[in-house]
């Protein structure tokens, strides 16, 4: 058994919050570069160039790439041989988010009650997903999720007979409805299968996959390619101002499901596709 001090979790989460917001991951920057090379619209091309400049400036000056530093979604995989001491696990994660958003000068974008809508002032609570896995390590990923793209996400139960065509139509319609509102070029996280709760979780987890990496199952990888092409044929383009680069990637995650069901979820990630991971 390995002992980990709760304070280490707090410090790690705090650092992940601002690092994620300041430094856009390399796979996203590479995605911008590829899109900029092929973009057919002059407006779209100029937008992509400006986004790359913005990422460079944010990195150099240690500033958030986008002002919407999101609601923090924290994914934690805890090895079953780890024992956390010195504090309540969930409190430590929330304290890490509180510290990270304060010390990183990140925007506080969370209201405490969804109907009364008073800003909590410290960007907590974060959404925390915890999984127990084999081993004696803790893997933490912080995904600061912006509101514009999250708002355009969608879920639907298709009839099993609607099959792959039904899935394609639903994903495409979701992207068309989102248009420029989701801040393209986007990453389109898709979940297929599972239950009502599981399918949205799959879509969210899909967003964490590195751009350029396909699903290991050939028929799912094929669907990813087809959807990417179809989405980039919508004409929506960067910022919805027309063009051929609407999506940078379409990662799909799947799970078994009930004989009656074919659930599909689409979690849209804007071009500020921030994520940062640490293994303790």
Partner 1 sequence: MPEYRLQTPITKEDIKKLKIGDTVSLTGTIFMARDAAHKRMVELLENNKPLPVELKGEVIFYAGPCPPKPGQVIGPVAPTTAFRMDPYAPAMYEYGVVGTIGKGPRRDMVKDACKKHGAVSFAAIGGLSTILSRRVKAVQVVAYEDLGPEAIRRLEVQDFPLLVAYDSNGDDLYQQEIAKYENFNQKTNKGAV
Question: Would you say 22 and 102 are in contact if contact means Cβ atoms under 8 Å apart?
Answer: no
Please select the residue that binds partner 1; options are 67, 83, 219, 258, rule is CB under 8 A.
67
Please select the residue that binds partner 1; options are 26, 57, 210, 222, rule is CB under 8 A.
57
Which residues from 189-218 bind partner 1, rule CB under 8 A?
none
CB burial string 253-263: b at 16+ within 10 A, e below: bbeebeeeebb
Q: Does 54 bind partner 1 (CB under 8 A)?
A: yes
Q: Which C-beta is closer to partner 1: that of 223 or that of 270? A: 270
Q: Does 25 bind partner 1 (CB under 8 A)?
A: no
Q: Extract the tokens encoding 236.
A: 């929506």
Q: Does 241 bind partner 1 (CB under 8 A)?
A: yes
CB of residue 225 vs partner 1: minimum separation in angstroms?
A: 9
Q: Does 100 bind partner 1 (CB under 8 A)?
A: no
Q: Does 58 bind partner 1 (CB under 8 A)?
A: yes
Pick the piece of the chain touching partner 1 (CB under 8 A) from 76-84, 115-123, 159-167, 255-263.
115-123
Task: Answer whether the bond into residue 113 is a cis peptide, omega within 30°.
Answer: no
**127, 152, 162, 182, 241 from 173: Cα distances, Å:** 27, 11, 15, 13, 18
Pick the piece of the chain touching partner 1 (CB under 8 A) from 55-63, 92-100, 157-165, 194-202.
55-63
Question: Would you say 245 and 238 are in contact if contact means Cβ atoms under 8 Å apart?
Answer: yes
CB of residue 93 vs partner 1: minimum separation in angstroms?
A: 22
Q: Does 179 bind partner 1 (CB under 8 A)?
A: yes
Q: Does 105 bind partner 1 (CB under 8 A)?
A: yes
Q: Is 24 exposed, middle or buried (0-12, 13-18, 19+ CB in 10 A)?
A: buried
**1, 71, 110, 230 from 23: Cα distances, Å:** 35, 17, 22, 30
Please select the residue that binds partner 1; options are 124, 141, 239, 254, rule is CB under 8 A.
239
Question: Would you say 58 and 68 are in contact if contact means Cβ atoms under 8 Å apart?
Answer: no
Q: Which C-beta is closer to partner 1: that of 91 or that of 222? A: 222
Runs of H (alpha helix) within 39-187: 42-61, 89-103, 147-150, 163-178
Residues in contact with partner 1 by the rule CB under 8 A: 35, 38-41, 43-44, 47, 50-51, 53-54, 57-58, 61, 63-69, 105-109, 117, 119, 121, 146-148, 151, 179-183, 229, 232-237, 239-245, 270-272
């Amino acid at each position: 058994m390995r002992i980990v001090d709760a304070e280490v979790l707090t410090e790690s989460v705090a650092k992940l919050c601002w690092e994620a917001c300041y430094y856009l991951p390399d796979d996203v920057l590479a995605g911008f570069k590829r899109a900029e090379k092929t973009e057919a619209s002059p407006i779209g091309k100029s937008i992509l160039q400006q986004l790359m400049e913005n990422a460079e400036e944010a990195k150099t000056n240690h500033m958030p790439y986008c002002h919407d530093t999101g609601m923090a979604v924290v994914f934690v995989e805890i090895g079953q041989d780890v024992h956390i001491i010195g504090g309540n696990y969930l409190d430590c994660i929330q304290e890490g988010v509180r510290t990270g958003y304060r010390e990183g000068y990140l925007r506080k974008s969370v209201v405490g009650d969804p109907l009364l809508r008073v800003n909590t002032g410290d960007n907590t609570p974060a959404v925390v997903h915890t999984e127990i896995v084999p081993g004696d390590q803790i893997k933490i990923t912080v995904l600061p999720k912006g509101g514009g793209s999250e708002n355009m996400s969608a879920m639907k139960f298709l009839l099993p007979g609607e099959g792959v065509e039904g899935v394609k139509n639903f994903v495409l319609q979701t992207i068309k409805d989102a248009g420029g509102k989701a801040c393209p070029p986007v990453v389109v996280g898709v979940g297929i299968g599972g239950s009502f709760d599981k399918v949205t979780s799959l879509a969210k987890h899909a967003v964490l996959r590195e751009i350029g990496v396909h699903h290991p199952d050939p028929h799912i990888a094929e669907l990813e390619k087809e959807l990417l092409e179809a989405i980039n044929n919508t004409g929506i383009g960067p910022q919805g101002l027309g063009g051929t680069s609407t999506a940078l990637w379409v990662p799909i995650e799947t799970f078994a499901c009930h004989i009656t069901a074919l659930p599909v979820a689409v979690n849209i990630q804007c071009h500020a596709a921030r994520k940062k991971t640490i293994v303790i």
